[in-house]
Chain A
Amino acid sequence: MIDGFIALYIFALAAILGFEIIRKVPVVLHTPLMSGSNFIHGIVLVGAMIALGHADTTLEKVFGFIAVFLGAGNAAGGYVVTERMLEMFKPRAKKTDNDGEGS
């Protein structure tokens, strides 16, 4: 069981970590990082599953269903979009003469 103070410690440490990681990042990575962190809070899916898994009344089931639906969208969509963005960062051969690609 996590009581208030343990939670406070976890909150504080996770927050400091988050600040530290993003303190110095190149501008190029701003958009992919936003997308990547957007994926990470997709963990809300787990909470939504737990909530729906314990739902009894109709209202709870409806809300739970919506929560799982939204959470899964966050996780799945966030992953795909981030992966596509970061794919652009794959190292490519350094040459300026064209090799027919892209035209």
Chain B
Amino acid sequence: MEFIQEYLPTLIKASYFLAAILFITGLRRMSAPGTARGGIVWAGVGMLIATIATFLLPDMHNMVLILAALVSSTVLAWISGKKVAMTDMPQMVALYNGMGGGSAAFIGAMALFNAVDHLGGCQAGTIIDTPTTHDCLSGVSMIFAIVGVYIGAISLSGSLVAFGKLQGWIDKRFTFPGQNFFNGLVGVGTLALGLYLTQDLNPDYIWIFFGLSLLLGLLMTLPIGGADMPVVISLYNAFTGLAVSFEGFVLQNEAMIIAGMLVGAAGTMLTQHMAKAMNRSLGSVLFGSMGGSGGSAIDGEMKEIEAQDAAIQMAFADRVIVIPGYGLAVAQAQHKLWEMTQILLDRGVDVKFAIHPVAGRMPGHMNVLLAEAGVPYDLIEDMEDINSQFSQTDVALVIGANDVVNPVAKTDPQSPIYGMPVLNVDEAKNSIVIKRGKGTGFAGIQNALFFAENNKMLYGDAQDAIARLIQGLKAL
């Protein structure tokens, strides 16, 4: 027993070390398609080891509280994560990410309040790094605790807004003149208050600081449109990582420092990748430039087609390319789509799926949805691979996609989406667009494709429209 007591601290430290290594390996494996599935298991084992080791730490009390919070939350999150539909995954990531940011923020706030209680024992204002031997905070630790609260709180409230937007609870972009300036003022002011805390650790100010940081996350996220949410969630993911890393320094926990910073960096990189795939700069996502209605108006009218005629057109085509988009994801019509595709394949039609990098709700999301419905990989093509094939295609079926098939991006330098890579649907011999109504896409730009001579519109919800197409095909 004494033997164990003696080596326990080393054992716990070793467990954290092992956890950090497992996280790194896990993330590495997740970044390649072949090993991705195993990657999460590696990271999961790391988490388990770190959590168990933490229970063994000496001097821990409040065990009942810890267990109650741990078990209740784990069960809730586990069930919600299992139950949620594939299409709703992105907002769940936002929600869980916000929880992590919030957790880091509360840890930081606790460290600050704790330092208030021990103010007699140490000088709050010392910026020199004195190792912490008792419960007070050294200057460096205090700065990390404060910045962690700031970033973590922004991530919490920001992610919750993102969750609300993707869930459809908040469907408006909330904007007012001078918003960026106002937000900037709140941001800088809050940070200044945070730094002031290092000089005067007043509990009231801690509360105000925490509140303002939460407000800032809210203000930052409300003006951002739903289609930009993936980039924003990814950014807040990086934020949470940083906050966790900083609070890890406060608590002198190596696993938190390493894992947090790893995610902070990886998340930042991932955010840039995503923004690039959408041809948006991070700045324009955060500070909004996508309100403009620039670009020339388009003359002509949209021609409607009956489902029966559309079915015939596809059934007798040699080659069909399906372009699934946001509308398919929202309507959860991927299973119906695969059912329709199978009928076409049985008839000997060559069917391919063309995936725009940002199709669906997030980059890569559409691939996941199609895979869920059972669509084989070899039918799914990336934009670069399939874009040259449209000219030899009889029918291009666009389902709930808009801006990613708008030829204006190639032709009209005035258009806000000019330069964005798009699928060359306009080059196909015929195109059919399934769309709910006659409105413009999220960018608010008219789509020249819809007015093209060889394009027909099939109005209706994706689920319902595909069901009618299937009926039409079966009737042949």
Contacts and interface: CB of A to CB of B under 8 A. Distances in A.
A68 B27 contact: no
Given A49-B70, A61-B65, A77-B80, A22 B36 contact: no
Contact of B40 (A34, A69, A83): A83
B57 A37 contact: no
Interface in A35-66: 35-57, 59-61, 63-66
A74 B94 CA distance: 10
Contacts of B65: 52, 61, 64-65, 68
B262 interface: yes
Contact of B382 (A27, A45, A49, A65): A27
Contacts of B274: 30
B364 A32 contact: yes
A30 B265 contact: no
B23 A40 contact: yes
Residue of A29, A34, A74, A95 ringed by the most chain B CB atoms within 10 A = A34
A50 B61 CA distance: 9
Contacts of B97: 38, 41, 74, 78
A53 B77 CA distance: 22
Contact of B364 (A28, A54, A70): A28
Contacts of A80: 77-78, 81-82
B252 A44 contact: no
Nearest to B53: A46
B386 interface: no
B99 A70 contact: yes
B26 A36 contact: yes
B126 to A, nearest CB: 13
Main secondary structure of the interface of B (DSSP, over half): helix
Contacts of A26: 33, 364
B256 to A, nearest CB: 5
A98 B345 contact: yes
Contacts of A35: 89, 93
Nearest to B372: A88
Nearest to A79: B44
A43 to B, nearest CB: 4
Nearest to B80: A77
A88 B371 contact: yes
B368 A18 contact: no
B290 interface: no
Contact of B106 (A49, A70, A96): A70
A96 to B, nearest CB: 6
Contacts of B463: none
Contacts of A57: 113, 117
A4 B140 contact: yes
Contacts of B245: 11, 14
Nearest to B97: A38
Nearest to B128: A4
B107 A90 contact: no
B327 interface: no
A41 B240 contact: yes
A39 to B, nearest CB: 6
Interface string B33-66: 1001101110110010011001101011111011
A102 B369 CA distance: 13
Given A36-B30, A38-B237, A10 B368 contact: no
B265 A49 contact: no
Interface string B364-388: 1101100111111111001000000
Contacts of B357: 27
A4 B129 contact: yes
B396 to A, nearest CB: 20
A83 to B, nearest CB: 5
Nearest to A11: B261
Contacts of B338: 102-103
A53 B62 contact: yes
Interface in B114-137: 114, 117, 129, 131-132
Contacts of B234: 34
A33 B30 contact: yes
Contacts of A34: 93, 230, 233-234, 237, 267, 270, 362
A85 B90 CA distance: 10
A39 B102 CA distance: 14
B51 A46 contact: yes
A29 B357 CA distance: 11
B273 A10 contact: no
A72 B144 CA distance: 22
A51 B251 contact: yes
B364 to A, nearest CB: 4
A72 B80 CA distance: 13
Interface in B59-103: 59-63, 65-66, 68-70, 72-74, 76-78, 80-82, 84, 86, 89-90, 92-93, 95-97, 99-100, 102-103
Given A18-B264, A46-B256, A63-B106, 6 more contacts: A27-B382, A30-B274, A36-B40, A47-B256, A57-B113, A69-B70
14 contacts: A33-B270, A43-B255, A46-B54, A50-B60, A53-B66, A68-B66, A71-B99, A72-B77, A74-B97, A75-B47, A77-B81, A78-B93, A84-B89, A88-B367
